[in-house]
Structure 1
Amino acid sequence: MSTGTAPPRLSGLAAALRLSAASLRTHKRRFAGTFLAALLGVGFLSGTLVMSDTLRGSFGTLFADAAADTDAVVRSADVVTAPDAGQGTRRTVPTGLASSLQKVPGVAAAVPEIQGAGQLVGRDGKPVGGQGPPTLAGNWIDDPHLNPYRLAAGRAPAAPGEAVVNRGAAEDGGLHIGDRTVLRTPDPLTITVVGIATAGGEGGLGRTTYTGLTRADAEKYLTPQPGRATAVRVRAAEGVDGRQLVERLKPVLPAGVEAVTGQEWADENKDAVSGTFLSLFTTLLLVFAGIALLVATFSIHNTFAVVVAQRTRDNALLRAIGASRGQILAATLAEAAAVGAAASAAGLLCGIGIAAGLQALFPAVGFPFPQGGLVISALSLLLPPATGLLVCLGSALLPAVRAGRTAPLAALREAAVDDSAASRGRALAGAGLLLAGVALTATGAAGAPSVLLTGTGAVVVLAAFVALGPVLSSVAVRALGAPLVRLRGLTGALARRNALRSPRRTAATAMALVLGVAVVTLFTVFAASLKATTDRAVGRAFAGDVAVSAPALGAGGSGLSPRLAPALARLPEVSTALGLGKGVAVVDGGGRQVTVADPAGLTAVLDLGPVDGAPGALGADGLAVSRDEADKRGWTVGSTTEVAFVDGQKQRFTVRAVYGERSLAGDYVLSREAWSPHRGQDADRVVAVAFKEGVSTAAGKAAVEKASAAYGSPEVRTRAEYAASSAQRVDTMLTLVYALLALAVVIALLGIANTLTLAVRERTRELGLLRAVGQTRGQLRAMVRWESVLVAAFGTAGGLVLGAFLGWALVRATGTAAFSVPAPRLAVVALVGSAAGALAGLRPARRAARLDVLRAVAAE
């Protein structure tokens, strides 16, 4: 008999919010993994942006301090910039120009500044600064307004060989006033420390090392000839600003010389750093932050999908008593928003802490992170939390829609129907996507390589993996679980059956790990291919017995003295010693890096491959060119081109040789005879040495090391050692990549652990029955752990396959290396992935084993 009354209808958004709040209070632990995944992703993004703000602000302050009270800088207007050669090289100006500028109305002081590379050697004989921060030397400027450094102890240099060093360098090198040490310029100069300087109250300008010499020593060791300066610093008289000063200076400046304000000069230096190092560094971190957030998206989506599936009856009951689809949808999204907001707020604080920690850590490993407080922009405060909230809402949207579609009759079922297998339509769509993605990727990697086409194909292949996930998980778990069944018997069989019971859930759980391992594998394959190619190329190109090397110019070192090669050539054990220098010049209208060498020794210690012409007979007007560059410009032996040097001189050169192997020689080779009249601070980057017949490698190497000691004790390596060291930078890059990607893998494993924890709650009654019929706690723990291992093994295997394919495509598309598969490294990735899966299953397994049998059997 009907009572004539309808069930009370839940009303409005407020009711939905109350439902979500009640659910969160009751089931806080369900969303622990979601909270952590979002927190880590937002923290990484926040830390990246704060670090970028801090670096940009710190470098701005650094260069502003370097400008000090300099109102104008007079310098050469001509700058030669070559690809991968840093900020470019300017010609010097006459030091006598300062006297002329001093007479201009409005000028209070004008002082020549001479600056170059100078690596300070510490008390222990090791270089201070190494390959990290810049190592500079220059003339000590007496005018305190124009000198960014201030004497903190001692006095200014007054006699030859006296020097002032910045406090940070002195502390790092264990140097004190009165100590004698060596300054590599690159010729070794014995100096006596007579003063310790600070800049802005700190130990120096950022992490830069600085050695201040007398003007005479600076001209002698840092410039090609006396009477030349890097620039002239000018201070304005009272009442004259920088812009007015520049306008007054212009009429008296010679041709090819310009004046800029001190602020413009500081901004140029800051922009140069921001445009190269800082932009690259920030972009790299943002890419990995994006990967971490994408992995977090999979983990968050899977958590909400599982939660919604487990709450089918709850949602159906709510629908039966009057809740609308919109209210169920809103309640689920409100839960996601609450978790996302809390995780994003915590992630923002975590990111600020990460940035502060890295600011303290980086200087300890030689990274040029300037000192000072953290700088946090409005974008860095607003973007990470907004991104985290959007990621949580976007990840929960499909599960929320599915929850809203729950039919009221579902409340009458004893249990939720598991309809998670892959449909035929899904399988066909995934297969079509996979074929299309592979075709696009292969097309972009073959023929005329295209990174854009390859990248598009990679995205399509990833989408195909997501679509085919349930199919692939079923096949993979059956294959991977077969040995487990034989090894662990019934426990292994139950673990495999549990992993197979819901292929869509297993695939969704593993997909975050698939992505993380795929990116790790991609970089591993690419780096191994690059390293193997570099190793082979350098080993093939280097025909000498040992190589004497120093840090690359511009990367902290001052290079090798050009006098070292002749000194080694005079050793009785040595037949040929060839110094390879580096410079920049304008060749055929464009800035190019050039290699400077003695042509007579080129073919004795370098394998130039197929050669046309005579590389040993370049003379003062000859040029040797790599075949790639010659073909690009239509040159053959006998072609002529104009070369403009940094000093402003121009000359016609004849192509006298075209060679095939450019690994060590580069694209352009000039003789020292041609380069010397136009050189700046001359230095070699490597000296290739060949021994006389009958001299053993050990005896020859020992003789070279002994002779090199007077030139700063540079590294002496055999051919194999030098080839391996040339590829070490790839290992350094790969280590950094692994460290950054570790966060993405951790987020993926959190997703596995969270899903298994939810699955344990879902299977409470089933687990209780297993315990009731005789399964021990140990067997139950093992079953859950092995289920976790199977899911992780599927994710790891899928990631290895996907990453190896994309790595091959990237290698082919960029054309930078020959494809190489690092089997041992990939085996380690596979083992770590599977072991991490076991680790992720520890907590869910322990929770399952602690279930009370009677309560578990009685659970619905």
Structure 2
Amino acid sequence: MIGLVFKELWGRKRRLAGSVIAVFLGVTFLTGTLVLGDTLAASIGGYFSRAYGDTDVSIRNSTTVSEEPWGARGQIDASVLERVRKVNGVANAEPYIQGSGQLLAKDGTTIQSRGPRTAGNWLTDPKLNPYRLAEGRAPRAPDEVVINKMFADEGKLRVGDRTAVLTPDRIPVTVVGISRFGDEDAFGETSFTAFSLEGARRYVARTPDRVTGVWVRAAGGVGQDELAARIKPVLAPGTEAVTGQAQVDEGMDLVENGFLRVFRIVLGAFGGVALLVAAFSIHNTFAITTAQRTRESALLRALGAGRRQVVAIAGFEALMVGAAATLAGLAGGYGFAALLRQLFTRFRIGIAMEGLTVAASSILIAAPVGMVVTLVAALGPALRASRVPPLAALREVAAEPSRPSDTRAIVGGVLAAVAAGTVVLGAVNEQMAMAAAGAVLSVVAMVVLGPVAARPVAALVGGPAARLRGAPGGLARDNARRSPARTSGAATALMIGVGVVTLLTVFIGSLRASLEEGVAGSFTGPIVVDGGSNETAGFSTALAAQAARLPQVGGVAGVGNGNMRVDGRTAGVRVADPSALGRVLDLDVTQGGLSGPGTFAVSEKVAGDRGWRTGTPVGVQFADGARQTLTIGAVYKNTDLAGDYLVPRAVWDAHTRQPLDVMAFVKLKPGASVAGARQALTALAAPYGAPEIESRDEFISRQTEDMSGFIAVVYGMLILAIVIALLGIANTLSLSVHERTRELGLLRAVGATRPQIRSMVRWESVIVALFGTAGGLGLGLFLGWGLGTAIGNPFAPQPVQVTVIAVVGAVAGALAAIRPARRAARLTILSAIAT
């Protein structure tokens, strides 16, 4: 039996190549995404392990208000430094100050970055300091700074240049040194401007008696845990001692459970899409080849082979194909990961990733998955082959049933109805989990109903081909209708790829439409001062106050970002003067009012979930550890600009030494010139790092541009999935041409020309591709509506992009047929008839 399998594989190399390519591409896709996740995790782990230098113990505020690994903590009493230095086992301890600090470029503008923009003190102990000097010297005077190389290059700054740092006050400084983070130009994309200790106390901490923390290095022979235990008794309440390893682990846990987890899920999902598409191509290949070997299987049965042996032959063949393709796919996945790393680096997604890291878990996932997918895809055809009766070897039999069973139609119809109902219910009730479950069920229903729909859809789609191309077009239509299961199998792979691309397109359009709708419904003014959404970015709150005095301005409200604990839970909050915000934004207040400057307001959704209303007292805790009870003064509906929590600026500023606005909304006086107001605001904002002065439309575009790089990579990966599907169509056609060799010879004998044969095969491919593309577009639009509506976004189908997808699907179908059509046209008449 094993020898027979190898003879079959070697005797049909074209079929073998098609099967191997489908599995290879799927495994390559999955392995590449897993390796990229491993590489990113290893890179982040390396950054965190170097972030604290050789710090053995860190003294810090024990209050946490953010789930982000870079979330700010409040300051602690600087007097702890002397007490810690006296602890037995402490070799050295240095105060550590860090806060917001935006380095300005040589032209006076803010240097943009996706990471935090921070400032602090230069640590004099090289073992505690994770940065090293690449050029120049350490700062000595309060107005001297060391800047990291990435931002020195982007800001066109050199040693000796004069610039400024916004803390948020504008501090003129001299660059005396350029640093590197280990071998990197920066810690990810974090901007770190290092003052002398005196300068950091004056401009960042803004007090000589408070520091962010103390970093401690242990004496020889003293372990981290032992040193932390010795330090703990000298600490004040609200302060804690954490080992260096614990800090690294803590940071990695937050990344693993936050950004990295989402990153892995997204990449894994697209790897799964590629494998699913490949599975349909594999299944179709084995289904065709099994049908072509119907008499062969029957002859084996007639010679005494049992059903199990026939299944075993097909299974072992699938195992050989899966093993060869999986091994090749593992190697290809490494190369694909390298390509993805280059794309992510080019689009500045995540952090810089040097080299590639392959975890054993990724191999243990990708290898079995590739094998299992191949075996499962081949299982159905293998079982059908085992059911061929021995007498079939003595007579001509149909290779495949020409009509799907009634059972398939009934089951598929029920599944489709249940799936559609689940998606609709999830959308109407804004239940994302229900809508997602319906989406998965919709794909299953589509697979089941595919052969049922193939005959009528092929007849409908092929009608124009029959009218326009005559006999070749008619034959192409009939060939597509002849084997509905085969047509459906080839089209389904493309349908899934196109469906996911369409779904993503609609979803992105919905997000943008939601933002446009939210801004249009909340803000009617023409100008926004945009400092970026980063918590450490932004500009001084003095800018909004000065803007309010411009003759063109009728109202302005600055808005800041922050984190705090609300009712015991960490929460991101917006910070503003509620009365000023109420004059420029329509937040659709449903309870209370925003007239008071000390009004604490929450969204209607949060109020409903927590059972709050106006007058409800809510306990909050700030980063400095201070606790306070705020009374809800207003409940509002529009959250696009105000978020879920709106904290009064006066309350917030009492617990921070660096108050910042990240944006300011400007309304003009009646008759004021928008162009004149923008010009006046641009001049006013220049000393504040020149934040962007944008129109409302520009502001909306800027909010979504951060996603553009990641979306471009995602589209690239989805296109690869579609390429796999098109290869499946090409493979199906190639096998179909082989199966119809005698038929093609007869067509040539009765007068069909080579161009007509090529045209017939090409149009058959176009019909299959249009079937898959149309089904994918319909599925993607429906699921895009359902999933988008489930999270409260309007339906935005993006007609231009959807049209492009449809055209590309049809063109790609024609391209997929080039090789099979050429091969069909080259068949010699006599040899084909004699087959």
TM-score range, shorter chain: over 0.9
- Provide, for residues 571-620 of structure 1, a one-character-per-residue CA deviation record: whole Å limited to 9, x for no partner: 2222222210122233334333332223342232111224544413233x
Per-residue deviation, 1:349: 0.8
- Provide, for residues 42-74 of structure 1, a one-character-per-residue CA deviation record: whole Å limited to 9, x for no partner: 112212222222222222222121222211000
SS of equivalent residue, structure 1 residue 90: coil
- Provide, for residues 798-852 of structure 1, a one-character-per-residue CA deviation record: whole Å limited to 9, x for no partner: 122222222233234x333133333332222222212211111111112112222
94-103 vs 250-259, which deviates more? 94-103
SS of equivalent residue, structure 2 residue 174: strand
1:770 maps to 747
2:37 maps to 52
2:723 maps to 746
Per-residue deviation, 1:665: 1.8
* TM-score (ref. length: structure 1): 0.92
Indicate which of 717, 720, 736 corresponds to 1:759.
Answer: 736
Per-residue deviation, 1:398: 1.4
SS of equivalent residue, structure 1 residue 70: coil
Cα gap change, 1:440 to 1:597, in 2 (>3 Å): closer
- Provide, for residues 636-695 of structure 1, a one-character-per-residue CA deviation record: whole Å limited to 9, x for no partner: 444433333222323333333333322212233233222211124321111111222222
676-685 vs 603-612, which deviates more? 603-612
Equivalent residue runs for 1:141-152 within 5 Å: 141-152=123-134
Cα gap change, 1:455 to 1:536, in 2 (>3 Å): closer
Indicate which of 48, 68, 73 corresponds to 1:90.
Answer: 73
- Provide, for residues 282-319 of structure 1, a one-character-per-residue CA deviation record: whole Å limited to 9, x for no partner: 11111111111111111100000001111222333333
* Amino acid aligned to 1:339: V
- Provide, for residues 715-745 of structure 1, a one-character-per-residue CA deviation record: whole Å limited to 9, x for no partner: 2111233234334456555434322322221
1:709 aligns with 2:683: no
Per-residue deviation, 1:33: 2.6
1:822 aligns with 2:801: no
* Amino acid aligned to 2:434: L
Indicate which of 484, 488, 506 corresponds to 1:507.
Answer: 488
1:114 maps to 97
- Provide, for residues 352-382 of structure 1, a one-character-per-residue CA deviation record: whole Å limited to 9, x for no partner: 1222333344333323434444222222223
* Amino acid aligned to 1:568: A
Asked whether the 8 Å contact 1:618–1:656 carries over to 2, the reply is no
Equivalent residue runs for 1:203-602 within 5 Å: 203-223=185-205, 225-414=207-396, 416-447=398-429, 449-554=430-535, 558-602=537-581
- Provide, for residues 161-198 of structure 1, a one-character-per-residue CA deviation record: whole Å limited to 9, x for no partner: 32112234334444322233343444444332211223
Counterpart CA distance in 2 for 1:540 and 1:440 is: 31
1:8 maps to none
560-569 vs 652-661, which deviates more? 652-661
Counterpart CA distance in 2 for 1:671 and 1:459 is: 44
SS of equivalent residue, structure 1 residue 175: coil
1:102 aligns with 2:85: yes
Counterpart CA distance in 2 for 1:778 and 1:117 is: 71
Asked whether the 8 Å contact 2:315–2:379 carries over to 1, the reply is yes
SS of equivalent residue, structure 1 residue 327: helix
Cα gap change, 1:172 to 1:363, in 2 (>3 Å): farther
Per-residue deviation, 1:206: 4.2
* Amino acid aligned to 2:407: G
Per-residue deviation, 1:418: 3.8
1:677 aligns with 2:670: no
1:139 maps to 121
* Amino acid aligned to 2:545: P
Counterpart CA distance in 2 for 1:720 and 1:357 is: 35
Asked whether the 8 Å contact 2:109–2:686 carries over to 1, the reply is no
Cα gap change, 1:211 to 1:363, in 2 (>3 Å): farther
Asked whether the 8 Å contact 1:359–1:369 carries over to 2, the reply is no
Equivalent residue runs for 1:157-176 within 5 Å: 157-176=139-158
1:846 maps to 822
28-37 vs 322-331, which deviates more? 322-331
Structure 2 runs not aligned, ≥5 long: none
Counterpart CA distance in 1 for 2:478 and 2:202 is: 80
* Amino acid aligned to 1:580: V
Asked whether the 8 Å contact 1:547–1:686 carries over to 2, the reply is yes
Counterpart CA distance in 1 for 2:579 and 2:413 is: 61
Counterpart CA distance in 2 for 1:67 and 1:140 is: 13
Cα gap change, 1:420 to 1:531, in 2 (>3 Å): same
Cα gap change, 1:453 to 1:637, in 2 (>3 Å): closer
663-672 vs 741-750, which deviates more? 663-672
Asked whether the 8 Å contact 1:618–1:624 carries over to 2, the reply is no
1:659 maps to 636
- Provide, for residues 445-478 of structure 1, a one-character-per-residue CA deviation record: whole Å limited to 9, x for no partner: 334x444433333333333222222221111111
* Amino acid aligned to 1:79: T
Cα gap change, 1:125 to 1:17, in 2 (>3 Å): farther
Asked whether the 8 Å contact 2:98–2:212 carries over to 1, the reply is yes
Indicate which of 62, 78, 88 corresponds to 2:63.
Answer: 78
Cα gap change, 1:643 to 1:405, in 2 (>3 Å): closer
Cα gap change, 1:35 to 1:198, in 2 (>3 Å): same
Counterpart CA distance in 1 for 2:707 and 2:215 is: 41
- Provide, for residues 404-447 of structure 1, a one-character-per-residue CA deviation record: whole Å limited to 9, x for no partner: 23333323335644423112222222222222333333333334
- Provide, for residues 728-769 of structure 1, a one-character-per-residue CA deviation record: whole Å limited to 9, x for no partner: 456555434322322221111111110001111111122222
* Amino acid aligned to 1:149: Y
Asked whether the 8 Å contact 2:39–2:353 carries over to 1, the reply is no
1:608 maps to 587
542-551 vs 798-807, which deviates more? 798-807
Asked whether the 8 Å contact 1:537–1:663 carries over to 2, the reply is yes
* Amino acid aligned to 2:484: P
Counterpart CA distance in 2 for 1:189 and 1:28 is: 73
Counterpart CA distance in 1 for 2:78 and 2:346 is: 38
- Provide, for residues 523-561 of structure 1, a one-character-per-residue CA deviation record: whole Å limited to 9, x for no partner: 22233222212211112111322001122125xx62222
Counterpart CA distance in 1 for 2:191 and 2:340 is: 21
394-403 vs 179-188, which deviates more? 179-188
- Provide, for residues 249-299 of structure 1, a one-character-per-residue CA deviation record: whole Å limited to 9, x for no partner: 111111111101111111111221222111110111111111111111111
514-523 vs 395-404, which deviates more? 514-523
SS of equivalent residue, structure 1 residue 788: helix
1:858 aligns with 2:816: no
Per-residue deviation, 1:19: 1.1
SS of equivalent residue, structure 1 residue 195: strand
Cα gap change, 1:415 to 1:740, in 2 (>3 Å): same
* Amino acid aligned to 1:594: V
Asked whether the 8 Å contact 2:110–2:691 carries over to 1, the reply is no
1:12 maps to none
Asked whether the 8 Å contact 2:348–2:709 carries over to 1, the reply is no
* Amino acid aligned to 1:404: S
Structure 1 runs not aligned, ≥5 long: 1-15
Cα gap change, 1:385 to 1:638, in 2 (>3 Å): closer
Asked whether the 8 Å contact 1:133–1:366 carries over to 2, the reply is no
Asked whether the 8 Å contact 1:527–1:730 carries over to 2, the reply is no
